[in-house]
Amino acid sequence: MNYGLDSNLSDLLTNYNLLFQRSLAGEGIIPNWFLQSAPLFSQIKLITFADNTFRVTLMKTALIISIVFQFLAAFYALSLTRQTKFNISWILISLAFLLIAIRNILDLVPIYYKELQSDIYLIDRLLKIVIAVLLLAGVIFIRRLFKFLKRIDDYRKESENKVLHAIMRTEEKERRQFAKDLHDGIGPLLSNIKMSVSAIDKTQITGFNLTVVENISNLINESINSLKYTSNSLSPHILESFGLASAVNSFIENINRLGKIEVSFSHNIESLRFDNQVETNLYRIVCELFQNTVKHASASNISLLIHFNENKLIIQYFDDGIGFDANDPGNMEGMGISNMHSRLKALDGEITLKRILPQGMMTSIVLTTKPKIAPHGKA
């Protein structure tokens, strides 16, 4: 074993030794050129020996370092076995890593025990076969690991959706209860006040007192209207009784009464009803879009399209306002966009917001759902 020594130089040194030994034995005469070059050959031999020693040391060090790292990788892989629920593919691949590290130890043995080289060679061949079999089996069984990870991911998504549904159901329940309390509690009180004020004989009142009574009557009427609007916003009875299209239509009529924005609304879901969660969440999203436009966009026109076809419900909303950057994190919270994303995530829907140049915003919502046709307009 010449440890990487150049073959020509090795042969030259070998011939040099043979010729020297023969000359000492009286089998030949040492040529003068040979005697003159002998010191040079000795120096070359010493340098070569030192170089080989350095190479062997470097090879041993590199091999030991690689063995240490491979054992660390193998033991770390085995330590993760419990987290994979003792998945067979992970166990097989981890054992292959361990055998690779052991195989490298066998490469180190012949350096110290040359007589074991032939035995080590046979064991090394057998280990290569075992490692190949383990890796092949691990790759075949790794599909189970992928399926296991997919089940975990599906379970996580299902859990998130359950939590979102629970939060939204609780929120809608509280809204309905609050709306009921307003309607049944404060509503009758305002109605009684209005009846009492209406019972005042205004012919007996003149001047400033008459003005005060008329102002009170107007304030009571405004309070009643505001109470109805608030109660309807919290829990719109039209949505529960007649569906999404009717509830959105009613909301748009309230906006049109302001006379500041022109709203156009077209749809093909007049006779269709959807799951209560779908209708409620989509209604809240549409209302949020309108409120953002009224409060922030300084728009003059709004266009809303709701189209249903082949179990795909598509909502497209346009306004000609100043628009905003949908990618700005500051807009996610301040404009209710985060709420929209959360509601659609619970329904497995998608929402896209895009700024239109020179001005305006487009919002597109796509949702897969099945309709239910309600008899007599009721769910």
Residue range 82-94, pLDDT digits in tens: 887 777 888 888 8
Q: Are residues 16 and 130 in the same domain?
A: yes
User: If pLDDT is split at 50, 70 and 90, which confidence band does 65 have?
Assistant: confident
Note whether 369 and 274 are within 8 A (CB): yes
Q: Are residues 253 and 374 in the same domain?
A: yes
pLDDT in the model for residue 318: 93
The mean pLDDT of 179-203, rounded to a whole number, is 75
Residue after which a domain boundary falls, among 123, 155, 187: 155
Q: Are residues 124 and 262 in the same domain?
A: no
Structure tokens at 367: 């949702």
Residue 358: is the preceding peptide bond cis (ω within 30°)? yes
Q: Are residues 151 and 245 in the same domain?
A: no
The mean pLDDT of 257-286, rounded to a whole number, is 88
DSSP string, 197-255: HHTS-GGG--HHHHHHHHHHHHHHHHHHHHHHHHHHHHS-HHHHHH-HHHHHHHHHHHH
Asked whether residue 231 is assigned to any structural domain, the reply reads: no
pLDDT in the model for residue 2: 44
Asked whether residue 183 is assigned to any structural domain, the reply reads: no
Stretch among 33-42, 234-243, 343-352 having the lowest mean pLDDT: 33-42
Residue after which a domain boundary falls, among 137, 155, 173: 155
Q: Are residues 133 and 16 in the same domain?
A: yes
Note whether 353 and 361 are within 8 A (CB): yes
Stretch among 36-50, 159-173, 193-207 having the lowest mean pLDDT: 36-50
Note whether 165 and 344 are within 8 A (CB): no
Asked whether residue 261 is assigned to any structural domain, the reply reads: yes
* 72 or 176, which is more confident: 72
User: If pLDDT is split at 50, 70 and 90, which confidence band does 227 have?
Assistant: confident
**SS3 track for the chain:** CCCCCCHHHHHHHHHHHHHHHHHHCCCCCCCHHHHHHHHHHHHHHHHHHHHHHHHHHHHHHHHHHHHHHHHHHHHHHHHCCHHHCCCHHHHHHHHHHHHHHHHHHHHHHHHHCHHHHHHHHHHHHHHHHHHHHHHHHHHHHHHHHHHHHHHHHHHHHHHHHHHHHHHHHHHHHHHHHHHHHHHHHHHHHHHHHHHHHHCCCHHHCCHHHHHHHHHHHHHHHHHHHHHHHHHHHHCCHHHHHHCHHHHHHHHHHHHHHHCCCEEEEEECCCCCECCHHHHHHHHHHHHHHHHHHHHHHCCCEEEEEEEEECCEEEEEEEECCCCCCCCCHHHHHHCCHHHHHHHHHHCCCEEEEEECCCCCEEEEEEEECCCECCHHHCC
The mean pLDDT of 340-362, rounded to a whole number, is 85
Q: Are residues 281 and 372 in the same domain?
A: yes
Structure tokens at 121: 């060679």
Asked whether the predicted pLDDT for residue 5 surpasses 50, the reply is no
- What's the pTM? 0.55
Q: What is the pLDDT of residues 100-155, one digit of tens each?
A: 888 888 877 777 777 777 778 888 888 889 989 988 888 888 877 788 778 888 88
Tell me 296's DSSP state.
Answer: I
pLDDT in the model for residue 253: 86
Q: Are residues 253 and 135 in the same domain?
A: no
Residue after which a domain boundary falls, among 127, 155, 183: 155
As for how many domains the chain has, the answer is: 2
Report the CATH number that the domain containing residue 321 is assigned in CATH: 3.30.565.10
pLDDT in the model for residue 139: 84
Q: Are residues 18 and 148 in the same domain?
A: yes
Sheet with 312-319, side-by-side order of all strands: 262-267, 301-309, 312-319, 361-368, 350-355
Q: Mean pLDDT in the chain?
A: 77
User: If pLDDT is split at 50, 70 and 90, which confidence band does 360 have?
Assistant: confident
Asked whether residue 140 is assigned to any structural domain, the reply reads: yes
What residues are paired with 308 via a beta bridge? 313
Structure tokens at 222: 């405004």
* 332 or 157, which is more confident: 157
Asked whether residue 117 is assigned to any structural domain, the reply reads: yes
Q: What is the pLDDT of residues 286-332, one digit of tens each?
A: 988 988 888 888 888 999 999 999 889 999 999 988 877 766 666 65
* 363 or 167, which is more confident: 363
Q: Are residues 249 and 151 in the same domain?
A: no
Q: Are residues 109 and 242 in the same domain?
A: no
* 60 or 269, which is more confident: 269
pLDDT in the model for residue 178: 72
Asked whether the predicted pLDDT for residue 4 surpasses 50, the reply is no
pLDDT in the model for residue 3: 40
pLDDT in the model for residue 376: 43
Asked whether residue 38 is assigned to any structural domain, the reply reads: yes
Q: Are residues 18 and 141 in the same domain?
A: yes
Asked whether residue 148 is assigned to any structural domain, the reply reads: yes
Q: What amino acid occupies position 170?
A: T
Torsions phi, psi for 304 (to 5 deg): -125, 130
Note whether 51 and 95 are within 8 A (CB): no
pLDDT in the model for residue 22: 55
Give the Cα-Cα-Cα angle 141, 143, 144 (nearest 5 degrees): 75
Range of the domain at 330: 238-379
Share of the chain above pLDDT 70, in %: 79
Q: 100-110 burial, b if ≥16 CB within 10 A, otherwise e?
A: bbebbeeeeeb
pLDDT in the model for residue 1: 43
Asked whether residue 294 is assigned to any structural domain, the reply reads: yes
